[in-house]
Amino acid sequence: MIAAPETTAWYVYGVVDASAKIGADQLRLIGEGPLAAVVSEVPLSEFGEEELAQRLNDRAWLEEHARAHEDVLQRLAAVAAVVPFRFGAIYRELDDVSVLLRERRGELSAALERVRGRIELGVKAWADRDRFEAALGDALPEPSSGRAYLERRRTEHERAGRVGAQLGDIARDAHARLLRHAVEGVANRPHPRELTGRDEAMILNGAYLVADGDEALAGEAAALDAEHGARGIAFEVTGPWPPHNFVEPRDEV
């Protein structure tokens, strides 16, 4: 007798305590020792190796499923400590999910303890460069000759570097201040305008791990916003996020 070909696989979102109560119809908890993986059954017609390679280049599909992955983690994080997995952890057999939990128990348990009772907040700083430069107050005179034009170009260039350095200092100081109100924090690369679609330049893209219910970091971001707002720099808090930024093993160096 030939076994029916498998048509589904198991998509793993992340790991919670084996004792976690998540009561969700479409999600299953696969327990192994103290840990449980949160999985759902997915069709191989979409999540098979070849199919996936194509779907991932379908912008709408990628957005829908990246958001779905995030949405599940958000909902889990609201009721339990959760270690988010990166998108695309897929197994054909549930047994292999158990093997994963067994083999990486140390790492996963450590990550779970690291984020327990904590949430991730994002803080971004946006610079309106024109307003910032205007606030600096050193307006340049209109050039009256070719030579003056060249001089002005040079001055503009120098000033651009100076402005950039000042924006960098503001972002660096802001990150240092925010870190004082966080358990951990990381400054990720700011997104370029092509991604943000905004006129302002992102100069800080920070992620911070804070105790759930601790308002201090958001308060500090609001204070920074108030301090720098008149100069065209706005601070924005996003989240709470599942702790994506704080589950990978810390760098050795």
- Region 185-214 residues binding other proteins, contact defined as CB under 8 A: 186-192, 194-196, 201, 203
In sequence order, what DSSP letters do the residues of 14-81 get, joined into one string? EEEETT-----TT-EEEEETTEEEEEEEEEHHHHSHHHHHHHTT-HHHHHHHHHHHHHHHHHHHHHS-
In the range 35-64, which residues lie near other proteins by CB under 8 A?
Answer: 40-43, 46-49, 52-53, 56-57, 59, 62-64
Name residue, tokens 């140390």. Answer: 106
**Interface with other proteins by CB under 8 A: which range of 8-16, 139-147, 213-221, 224-232?**
8-16
Distance CA 16, CA 81 (A): 6
Q: Does 130 bind other proteins (CB under 8 A)?
A: no
Peptide bond into 240 cis (omega under 30): yes
* Helices 146-179 + 216-228 axis angle, to 10: 160
In the range 158-187, which residues lie near other proteins by CB under 8 A?
Answer: 160-165, 167-169, 171-172, 175, 186-187
Distances (CA, A) of 231 to 54, 130, 131, 135: 46, 9, 6, 6
Query: Which residue among 142, 145, 146, 250 contacts other proteins (CB under 8 A)?
Result: 250
Query: Which residue among 16, 35, 76, 210 contacts other proteins (CB under 8 A)?
Result: 76
**Interface with other proteins by CB under 8 A: which range of 135-143, 148-156, 220-228, 238-246?**
238-246
Question: If phi over 0 gives left and psi between -120 and 50 gives alpha, with beta otherwise, what is residue 248?
Answer: beta
Measured from the CB of residue 156, what is the shortest distance to other proteins in angstroms? 13
Q: Does 7 bind other proteins (CB under 8 A)?
A: no
Query: Which residue among 2, 3, 5, 23 contacts other proteins (CB under 8 A)?
Result: 23
Name the residue nearer to other proteins (CB basis): 201 or 217: 201
Other C-beta atoms closer than 10 Å to the C-beta of 131 total: 15
**Interface with other proteins by CB under 8 A: which range of 34-42, 133-141, 143-151, 224-232?**
34-42
Measured from the CB of residue 214, what is the shortest distance to other proteins in angstroms? 15
Q: Does 68 bind other proteins (CB under 8 A)?
A: yes
Query: Which residue among 17, 18, 22, 177 contacts other proteins (CB under 8 A)?
Result: 22
The backbone torsions φ and ψ at residue 30, rounded to the nearest 5 degrees and listed phi first, read: -110, 105
Query: Which residue among 16, 69, 114, 233 contacts other proteins (CB under 8 A)?
Result: 69
Name the residue nearer to other proteins (CB basis): 143 or 183: 183
Distance CA 156, CA 151 (A): 8
